[in-house]
Amino acid sequence: MIRCLSTPGRTLGANDHKILTRIVCRTALPTLIAGARIALGNAWTTLVAAELLAATAGLGYVALNASRMLDTDVLVVAMLLIGLLGVLLSVLMKLATRLLAPWSLPQKKG
């Protein structure tokens, strides 16, 4: 993969530094951002799960405590906040993709 990307760069006179920064890193950046987005989702899920199991503060703890006390309005609000924060993190990662690697986004037809 790297060779098929670096050969045209070499043909156009690029040195090793330019090939690394302008070809290899720009090719890898969308994949790195996608991996970070997936990792952020996993981290958010793990954080909430850890709060449900052993925390004394946080949204997971609030949801678990409200469930135990049959306080459904607090439980629903905590669940909505957990979901909305997850969506917000995802939207922020999409925005980061748009800002850092705009060439990786699908083009609009039309």
Q: Give 11-28 pLDDT, tens digit per residue.
A: 788 888 888 788 888 888
DSSP state of 102: G
What angle, rounded to 10 degrees, do the helices at 59-68 and 25-54 form?
30
d(CA 16, CA 9): 9
73-100 mean pLDDT: 92
User: Any idea which residue has 């045209």 for tokens?
Assistant: 8
Q: What global pTM score does this model have?
A: 0.72
What is the pLDDT, as a whole number, of residue 39? 94
Token duo for residue 17: 């530094």
Band of residue 110 on the pLDDT scale cut at 50, 70, 90: low
Task: Tell me what the pLDDT averaged over the chain comes to.
Answer: 86
